[in-house]
Amino acid sequence: MEKESDYVLLQSQTIDWLRFPLAVAVVFIHSFGYPLTYTLPALNIHSFSGMDVYNVIRICFSHVAAHVAVPTFFLISGFLFFVGKVNEIEKLAWWKRKFRSRLNTLVFPYFLWNLIAILCTVSMMIGSFFLKGKPLSRIFDYFEENRWLHLFWDCEIWGENRLNWLGVAMPSTAPANVPLWFLRDLLVVVAVTPVIFWLVKRLKYFYIFVLAFCYVSKIWFVIPGVSITAIFFFSLGAFFSIHGKNLVKEIKKIKFLSFALGILLLLITVLFDGNNTSTGFLIYPFFVIVGVCATFNLAIFLLESGKVKVYPILSKSSFFIYATHTLLILSVSRAVCSRILYWNTPLVLTIRYFATPILAVGACFTLYIVMKKFTPKLLDVLTGNR
């Protein structure tokens, strides 16, 4: 029987190892390949074409499997926020220390990276003025269309056709640097952590079950920054640490169930294109819950079997990759891969689909290494000293 100390070490290793592949998964979410428009393949093995196989592959990775990444990040964040002795958590000094640290790790990076995204867009418009003669008035139009300060909160809107169990539309929103909707929602959740702590400690499983129902049914508030995804998975992670449960030890109990059910739900969710169809939107949350557990169990298996190791540099670079990949890097990677792999055959499109995000991750990681060597203080500010 394994010692408790072994589980504590494995828990730390699992969380550290997961950060990098989860960041890579987010890059895949934002890289769907070419063409952007497609038709869902009819799953008939006798008429399955090469393009159908290509569509299924990119739906599987970009629209389904990779979507467990952000919920997993929320769960880890909730767990780490409350990890420690419960009697210490109830002291005012503990809360002050936590909120002060989150100011550096969340607030400053959030606004800085969104500002960088805005400046990138404005710079491109200035460049197009000099190179292509396009009017500078486009800059004003950009701010006007995105409602000025909303660029820092909810200028991007999508999924307005997604309806919850009550038939109410549940659109998603994001700031100028789109992936940072995660950080935005995390800021909101952290702001209400005293309430979450009380609910998790007092109501225990009942509170988690209520949130789980709200998550799968999508019966929730339509308020930018107050997503049920953030509240549910952050609270779930908090539940483990507040009640002194080892995350790895508990999730391992459902290892085989999570793998079996995860594969089944993955196939079904791919068939309905993730949450991009009305049926898929209903099945999708069940897959994500199981998928998060399966992701943890896969990481645990790989670490315990010695197939992978924890490399701190990869873990530490994950946030930088998360924040930078949509700032021109992914677009440039897409252009480079399209120039080199320009044949539009199913096989080449598939290779290009995988090559584009991998190249983007490589470029982001290289930039991280360069900044770590030559501008470490600036890098610390941008990453919140992660």
Q: What is the pLDDT of residue 212?
A: 98
Any idea where the domains of the chain sit in the sequence?
4-383
145 burial type by CB count under 10 A (0-12 exposed, 13-18 middle, 19+ buried): exposed
Cis preceding linkage at 35, omega within 30: yes
In angstroms and rounded to an integer, the radius of gyration of the C-alpha atoms of the chain is 21
Q: What is the pLDDT of residue 2?
A: 66
User: What pLDDT, in 10s, does the model give residues 334-356?
Assistant: 999 999 999 989 999 999 999 99
The structure tokens 């791919």 sit at 270
Instruction: Compute φ and ψ for 244, nearest 5 degrees.
Output: 65, 30
Mean pLDDT score, 134-156: 95
254 burial type by CB count under 10 A (0-12 exposed, 13-18 middle, 19+ buried): middle
Secondary structure of 167-184 in HEC code, one letter for each residue? CCECCEEECCCHHHHHHH
Q: What is the pLDDT of residue 255?
A: 96
- Compute the half-sphere exposure of residue 296: CA atoms within 13 Å on the CB side of its CA: 27
| pLDDT band at 1; cut points 50, 70, 90 | very low
Q: How far, rounded to the nearest angstrom, does the alpha carbon of residue 235 sit from its chain's CA centroid?
A: 17
Distance CA 117, CA 175 (A): 9
| pLDDT band at 52; cut points 50, 70, 90 | confident
pTM score, whole prediction: 0.95
Distance CA 174, CA 165 (A): 23
Strand extents, DSSP E, the chain: 156-158, 172-174
| Inter-residue contact 367 to 375 (CB < 8 Å) | no
> Residue ranges of the alpha helices (H) in 272-329?
278-304, 312-324
328 SS3 class: helix
282-287 own/partner pairs: CB under 8 Å, 24+ apart: 284/64, 284/67, 285/215, 285/216, 285/218, 286/216, 287/64, 287/262
Give the whole-number percent of the chain exceeding pLDDT 90. 81
Mean pLDDT score, 9-16: 96
Instruction: Compute φ and ψ for 204, nearest 5 degrees.
Output: 50, -125
Distance CA 367, CA 317 (A): 10
User: What pLDDT, in 10s, does the model give residues 201-250?
Assistant: 999 999 999 999 999 999 999 999 999 999 999 999 999 999 999 999 99
Single out the residue of 121, 224, 117, 226 nearest to residue 174, CA to CA: 224
